[in-house]
Amino acid sequence: MHKVAVSSWATSTFTKGSKMSLFELACEPSVQLIRESGVSAKEIDAVLFSSCATDQYSSAIISEMLGIYPRISYRVDNLCNSGTNAVASAFAIIASGLCNTVLVVGAEKADSPGNKLVWDVSRGSFMFPVHWAAIFAKAHMRKYGTTEEQMAMVSVKNHKNAAKNDHALFRKEVTLQEVMNSKKIASPIKLLDCSASCEGASAILLVSEEKARSLDNPVFIKGIGQQTTSASFAKATPDLTTIEAARRAAHTAFEMSHTKLSQIDVAELHDAFTILEILGYEDLGFAKKGEGGKFVDQEQIVINPRGGIIGCGHPVGATGVAQVAEIASQLAGKAGKRQVKNCKTGLVHNLAAAGSSASVIVMGV
């Protein structure tokens, strides 16, 4: 297998109501990436577009707008997992030798059709993601004594990180009290336990090892694990305190990358709701089962340095790409004022639809 590096990345400012079209959104970070990467549009031989938007032929449209003539080009669509699926697809295209230079672009408008889970009859009328997040939270509280304060601390931490990220939707710290006093959405989940849908885009360039040799600090994708356990909530996981898909994806990614958990210095965890970051600690193995709530205070690993999904906002198809972009920038030592010191190995954890599918990507220098 050819090795694959992430050589460039750019993420737009996540906002609400910019009035940009999906395609303008997608082009914004892509143009920046091409300008800053030193790679010309002509060298890019594949373009994969990640989005839940229903526009037809969107990857070809974006390619034409960017002046790229890709050999391989298509859209990848899989709800919140779309971006990490597109990264896996791009990885495979390079690792197989089909292409050398793949642009992965994720973009979403705030009114994305990916925001509702209307297709799952097993959810009844509880079609918004917050409904199943509440069920996970209650189960974890009941079984392990996890507290609303512990969940709220995830929000405090991620908002604090987002305050250092100029591209985040929310750039203001929040206090524990503010989270606890915020409006109840679906008990025990409060407004500040939730991420917000928004619009935004992120682009990364994946290149073959040969191309990566000319880079100063190549960041390699070392392991990719993905798992789908179901589409419906009813069959997603046998135990409501574990995201089974994430556990299995992590196992695959660690095995493929020959990486130990203890080597991870920095991680992007899927925190569309605070409880999901706590489950993530456990599913990935950072915390023992049931001890995720206490793990929020730890300081060995930096988790969600860009502010996570709670701080940055959640433009569904862009999120997975932005997560990979963040870890690449951290490992390359180019994360500016939110740079994590001495990080060499990082991880991305992403989920879709009540954790019925998950991705874990291990990256390293």
Contact positions vs its own copies (CB under 8 A): 1-2, 47, 52, 54-61, 63-64, 69-79, 81-82, 85-86, 88-89, 91-98, 113-114, 117-119, 224-232, 235, 248-249, 252, 352-353, 356-357
218: cis peptide before it, omega within 30°? no
- Residue 117 buriedness (CB in 10 A; 0-12 / 13-18 / 19+): buried
Rounded to a whole number of angstroms, the minimum distance from the CB of residue 287 to its own copies is 24
Rounded to a whole number of angstroms, the minimum distance from the CB of residue 285 to its own copies is 19
CA distances from 176 to 150, 152, 153, 155, 188 (A): 9, 6, 6, 8, 15
Find tokens 């502010």 and name the residue: 307
Q: Which CB atom, from 182 or from 232, has the smaller least distance to its own copies?
A: 232
Rounded to a whole number of angstroms, the minimum distance from the CB of residue 248 to its own copies is 8
140 in active site = no
> What gap in Å lies between CA 95 and CA 256, rounded to an integer?
13
27 in active site = no
Rounded to a whole number of angstroms, the minimum distance from the CB of residue 88 to its own copies is 6
> What gap in Å lies between CA 105 and CA 317, rounded to an integer?
9
Rounded to a whole number of angstroms, the minimum distance from the CB of residue 307 to its own copies is 26
Determine which helix (DSSP H) or strand (DSSP E) holds 86, and give its type and residue range: helix 82-95
Q: Which CB atom, from 8 or from 115, has the smaller least distance to its own copies?
A: 115
Q: Which CB atom, from 196 or from 231, has the smaller least distance to its own copies?
A: 231
**Amino acid, single-letter form, for residue 114:** G
Bridge partners, residue 46, by sequence:
72, 102
Rounded to a whole number of angstroms, the minimum distance from the CB of residue 48 to its own copies is 9
Q: Which CB atom, from 62 or from 296, has the smaller least distance to its own copies?
A: 62
Among candidate residues 131, 140, 159, 314, the one labeled active-site is: 314
* Contact (CB, 8 A) for 361 and 250: no
**HEC-encoded secondary structure of 158-170:** HHHHHCCCCCCCC
Cβ count near 118 (within 10 Å) = 10
Q: Which CB atom, from 114 or from 311, has the smaller least distance to its own copies?
A: 114
Among candidate residues 80, 194, 198, 312, the one labeled active-site is: 80
Using CA atoms of 327, 251, 117, 310 in order, give the dihedral in degrees to the nearest 10.
-30
Active-site residue list: 80, 314
